[in-house]
């Protein structure tokens, strides 16, 4: 069974999600868009001063771009990839999220 056998919706929805993820990734990688980071934008000023804002944005942006690239691979190769790639995708996304959390807590504190 191929990945294409599992998809029942239109492909344009996935392309829109991919484009949104890429735009947000570029904004974050450029060091802007800290207001997009949940928890950071609602933190007090004292709490925000504990973190390097540009580094935090870059780490989140890189993590988001990994997810966007995986989504692009799934869309472009849906007729080639086996159906179990969904589990591989989910595993990589979970590892990516854990890596983002660890990197933000270890590498972004001043």
In tens, the pLDDT along 43-70 reads 899 998 999 999 999 999 999 999 999 9
Distances (CA, A) of 104 to 15, 50, 51: 29, 11, 9
Contact (CB, 8 A) for 81 and 74: yes
In this predicted structure, what is the pLDDT of residue 101?
93
Q: Where exactly are the structural domains of the chain?
A: 3-107
Query: Which segments in the chain show pLDDT lower than 50?
Result: none
């Amino acid at each position: 069974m191929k990945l294409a056998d599992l998809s029942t919706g239109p492909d344009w929805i996935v392309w829109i999600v991919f484009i949104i993820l890429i735009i947000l990734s570029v904004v974050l990688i450029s060091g802007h868009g800290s207001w997009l980071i949940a928890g950071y934008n609602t933190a007090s000023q004292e709490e925000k001063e504990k973190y390097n804002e540009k580094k935090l944005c870059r780490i989140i942006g890189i993590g988001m771009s990994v997810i966007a690239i995986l989504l692009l691979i799934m869309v472009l190769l849906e007729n080639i990839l086996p159906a179990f790639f969904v589990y591989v995708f989910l595993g990589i996304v979970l590892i990516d999220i854990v890596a983002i959390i660890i990197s933000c807590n270890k590498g972004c504190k001043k």
